[in-house]
């Protein structure tokens, strides 16, 4: 019977650790004024650990400027991960603004509008 691979589980653990470490590095060590209050929503690591897509949202600030600043600081942040992660290959970071929260707020507003217009009709 072939041994079950633990690689997918390891990939999730690495992505989770990257997410936690990046949250701390951005908050404590990144001094770029374009980076406001950032929340790392998710990290997706390629199977070979060469690249990581980092999805983030911004509470305050311009999302495009923040994305640009984070991608410019990717090398600095990756270097910070080298010191924290105990893996052979630390992935190249690619930051991408996550619009999920924005879409959820828009959807909630539409639902509230529909509910209030229905209440007025009744």
Domain boundaries, the chain: 7-121
Does residue 1 carry a pLDDT above 60? no
Q: What tens digit of pLDDT does each residue of 15-58 get?
A: 999 999 999 999 999 999 999 899 999 999 999 999 999 999 99
pLDDT given for residue 7 in this prediction: 57
Encoded tokens for 17: 């650790």
Give the residue carrying structure tokens 């999920």: 100
In this structure, the strands spanning 92-97 and 51-58 are parallel
The sign of the torsion formed by the CA atoms of 73, 78, 79, 85 equals positive
Least confident of 13-27, 53-67, 70-84, 92-106: 92-106
Q: 7-121 sits in which CATH class? A: alpha beta
The sign of the torsion formed by the CA atoms of 80, 86, 88, 94 equals negative
Q: In what order do the strands lie in the sheet with 92-97?
A: 38-45, 51-58, 92-97
What's the rounded Cα separation, in Å, for the pair 122 and 103? 29
Does residue 109 carry a pLDDT above 90? no
Does residue 112 carry a pLDDT above 80? yes
What's the rounded Cα separation, in Å, for the pair 69 and 61? 12
Least confident of 8-22, 42-56, 79-93, 100-114: 100-114
pLDDT given for residue 61 in this prediction: 83
Cβ–Cβ < 8 Å for 51, 17: no
Mean pLDDT of the chain: 88
Between 105 and 38, where is the model more confident? 38
pLDDT given for residue 114 in this prediction: 85
pLDDT given for residue 29 in this prediction: 94
What's the rounded Cα separation, in Å, for the pair 37 and 5? 38
């Amino acid at each position: 019977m072939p041994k079950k691979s633990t690689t997918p589980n390891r990939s999730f653990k690495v992505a989770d650790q990257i997410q936690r470490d990046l949250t701390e590095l951005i908050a404590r060590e990144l001094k770029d004024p374009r980076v406001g209050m950032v929340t790392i929503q998710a990290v997706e690591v390629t199977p070979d650990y060469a690249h990581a897509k980092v999805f983030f949202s911004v509470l305050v600030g311009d999302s495009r400027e923040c994305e640009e600043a984070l991608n410019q600081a990717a090398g600095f942040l990756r270097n910070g991960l080298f010191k924290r992660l105990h893996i052979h290959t630390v992935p190249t970071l690619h930051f991408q603004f996550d619009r999920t929260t924005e879409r959820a707020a828009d959807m909630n507003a539409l639902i509230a509008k529909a509910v209030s217009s229905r209440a007025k009709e009744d």
